[in-house]
Amino acid sequence: MRVQVESLQDYASELETEIAALERAPQRLNGNAAFGGGFGEAIGLRDRHDLVLQQMRDLLQQVRAGIATAQAAAQQIAARYEGADELSRVRLEEITSTMGTPAPTTTGL
């Protein structure tokens, strides 16, 4: 479970890096055809850039929520194993106190 959480954390770090790069992009994406030497495809480029940036922020938020969920699940699983181990220990003590400690066996190898 830890490996999966670490993978999600690595992915979140990569997203943060990409988002930071997008945020540092030139603010000249003003949507007019004069941007970049006058090519018509520049119209609406700023809007698309902002949309991609927002989608990446949303994705990062979802990944962070996934990390929190995975960590909570891992803690719950660990607690259950701990409880099961404790129950096994108690049962073994009950059996040992009722039946006594088994004598060591010798084998003739």
pLDDT in tens, 35-61: 555 566 666 777 788 899 999 999 999
CA 90 to CA 95: how far, in whole Å? 9
- What pTM was computed for the model? 0.57
Q: What percent of the chain has pLDDT over 90?
A: 18
User: b or e along 73-87 (b: 16 or more beta carbons within 10 Å of the residue's beta carbon)?
Assistant: eeeeeeeeeeeeeee
Instruction: Give mean pLDDT, residues 56-83.
Output: 89
In this predicted structure, what is the pLDDT of residue 48? Answer: 83
Q: With bands split at pLDDT 50, 70 and 90, how would you rate the model's confidence at 3? A: low
In this predicted structure, what is the pLDDT of residue 55? Answer: 95
CA 51 to CA 23: how far, in whole Å? 12
Q: Where are the beta strands (DSSP E) in 1-109?
A: none
Residues 6+ apart with CB under 8 A from 63: 8, 11, 12, 15
User: Average pLDDT, whole number, for the chain?
Assistant: 79
Instruction: Give mean pLDDT, residues 85-94.
Output: 84
Q: Where are the beta strands (DSSP E) in 19-107?
A: none
